[in-house]
Chain A
Amino acid sequence: MANLRFILSCFLFAGIVFSSAMAQTQLGTQNGKISFASDAPLEIIKASSNEMRGKIDLTRKIFAFTIKTSSFQGFNSPLQKEHFNENYIESNRYPDATFSGKIIEDIDLAEDGENVVRAKGNLTIHGVTQERIIKIKMTTKNGVMNIKSEFTVLLEDHQIAIPRVVNEKLASEIKVEVKATLMP
């Protein structure tokens, strides 16, 4: 009986934790910028998109970001953009690239300040998910958060094959830069 009461109180407590978590503060963006660059011996390819959407829950310290891979502009030619969508990233089959997870830093995200935090989560590109820890620089002022992050993506990690003929024109490691302003 005591056992049962114990379990019940556990649930009750969990319920309180959960409902307090519901009173959350979320910041979000609809026009974050992602740029990427492939720096290969024979060709440098750059593209970017201003259509990254994202949300951060300050209380629960969780986040999710998503980008439509077909929204990238730039490249060295329209044909290259078509090949990016058709042959490499396969935008029709895998329309979005996403990153979601938790900020594993023991700080209060709601407070003003500048912090470099580690974001641990699942990075999904080309339908292949990799667990990654990515460093993000967060600058918070008056409830508005600017984030900036640079990381690399290995094409091999996401099963994006490089044909031999373009070996010298496409880097196996792609540099990615993310910038966004998140508002309530």
Chain B
Amino acid sequence: MCVILGFISTCCHSQDTTDIMAQLENEVMQSDANATTYTTATFKTTRLVNGHTVENVGKGVMDMKISHRFGKLNGGGYELFGLDNATMRMGLDFGITNRLMVGIGRSTFEKTYDAFFKLKLLRQSTGRKKMPVTVSYVPTIALKTLKFDDPNRKNYFSSRLFFTHQLIIGRKFSEGFSFQLMPTYSHKNLVALQAEPNDLLAIGIGGRQKLSRRMSLNAEYYYQIPGYKLSGTTNSLSVGVDIETGGHVFQLHFTNSQGMSERTFISETRGLWEKGDVFFGFNISRVFNIGKH
């Protein structure tokens, strides 16, 4: 009798722990339905390859970015497949709040300074407030300080300025896969020919697939709308990997764009993948905490 009773009572006990756990799980589910959970880590860093992702740096975080693009791969052995030449961009990004970041940069390519801010308008979330996508707005201004081609004609300071407005609509579909759309409007105060448009339109698509917890494969493509693009330019296509190690993210990539600020890679790409006008490059990101978060 004792054996049977003992059996029944142990039986009951294991059952009991599950029922008390089930009660807890029920409570958790109810409170989850009343809370909003925001999606995190849609991308590993604030840049996909050349362009922005929907990610921001956190409040009080400074992100130092050093980006390099080497010369064309089709330069052959003489140029060591492009490694003899490099353009670079140094940049500093800073998170004012968790939804607003600002950044400045300087590219050696055409001696360009750039500045931007990125504001998260909507955040992907589940629970009480449901939002399928994250939407960010990124306006960028670029200042080209290269000496004017023809110093004898009347040159205006405004001719050095370029403006880009981007809306980035991104969604983390699963733990590994995220995708985004980047409609882009650019304005150039000065273009080479009178027939060329000053207002340019493009739409970008980009995504990442995680290969492991610390590595992901990224791709980015900007399609320029015919009639709103400069003649002789091509669409920017870039493929790369993100490798994350603690506070650093290394991004290695191949791209047909040499410039690294929005106005150059979106609307002034001239490289053709099929001809081997491809640039190998990398971005290194290192974050520092400045403010109290």
Q: How large is the interface on A (under 10, 10 to 19, 20 to 34, 35 or more residues)?
A: 35 or more
Contact B24 A13 (CB under 8 A): no
What CA separation (Å) do A76 and B293 show in the bound complex? 9
B20 touching A86 by the CB < 8 A rule? Answer: no
- Binding site secondary structure of chain B: mixed
**Distance in Å: Cβ of A41 to nearest Cβ of chain B:** 15
A62/B20 in contact, CB under 8 A? yes
CB A32 to nearest CB in B, in angstroms, measures 12
Q: Is B213 an interface residue (CB 8 A)?
A: yes
User: Roughly how many angstroms separate A26 CA and B21 CA in the complex, as a whole number?
Assistant: 13
CA distance A79 to B41 in the complex (A): 10
Contact with B along A145-167 (1 / 0, CB 8 A): 00000000000000000010110
> Please, how many residues of chain B have a CB less than 8 angstroms from a CB on the other chain?
35
Residues on A with C-beta less than 8 A from B57 are 78
Q: Do the beta carbons of A68 and B28 come within 8 Å of each other? A: yes
Q: Contact flags (1/0) for A1-40 with B, using CB distance below 8 Å?
A: 0000011001001100110010000100010000000000
- Listed by A's residue number, 22 A-B pairs whose Cβ atoms lie within 8 Å are A6-B1, A10-B1, A10-B4, A18-B12, A21-B12, A30-B31, A53-B28, A55-B20, A55-B23, A62-B13, A62-B17, A63-B20, A64-B21, A64-B24, A66-B21, A66-B25, A77-B61, A77-B247, A77-B293, A79-B58, A93-B175, A102-B13
Q: B residues touching A (Cβ–Cβ < 8 Å)?
A: 1, 4-5, 8-9, 12-13, 16-17, 20-21, 23-25, 27-28, 31, 37, 40-41, 57-59, 61, 98, 175, 213-214, 244-247, 287, 289, 293
Give me the interface of A with B, judged by CB distance under 8 Å: 6-7, 10, 13-14, 17-18, 21, 26, 30, 53-55, 57, 60, 62-66, 68, 70, 76-79, 82-83, 85-87, 92-93, 96, 98, 100-102, 121, 163, 165-166, 169
Known: A65-B24, A70-B37, A85-B40. 6 other contacts (CB 8 A): A53-B24, A62-B20, A64-B20, A66-B21, A77-B58, A169-B246
